[in-house]
Amino acid sequence: MSDQRIRRRVVVHGRVQGVFFRDSVRQRARSLGVHGRVRNRRDGTVEAVFEGPPDAVDALVRFSETGPRGARVSHVDVTDEEPEGLDGFELS
C-alpha cells in the first residue's frame, strides 16, 4: 500500500495570486513527499498537479482549499488523473 501513488490536478479560484500561494504549496508538498508542479494562470487562478501517496495528496488538496495567510479561496476544482511518475516539485 505504501507504493500506491495517485495524481490530482487542482485549479484554485479566488484571491490566490500575489499572496505566496505557489511557494506555500511547494513547501507543503516537499514536506509531505508530494511531487508535481504549481503555476499561476492568466485568468487569475492557480493550477497545480499533485502526485504521491493518497494521504499526502489529500492533505495538499485540503491545504489548497484555504491556502496561506492572505489568500481568499472561493472554490477549488479537483480532477483525478493517472500518475505519470513525476519527481520533485516545480514552481513556474
Over its C-alpha atoms, the chain yields an Rg (Å, rounded) of 12
Residue 86 is placed in which grid cell? 513525476
d(C-alpha 53, C-alpha 73), whole Å: 25
Tell me, yes or no, if 62 is annotated catalytic.
no
Catalytic-role residue among 5, 7, 8, 22: 22
Tell me, yes or no, if 22 is annotated catalytic.
yes
List residues with catalytic annotation: 22, 40
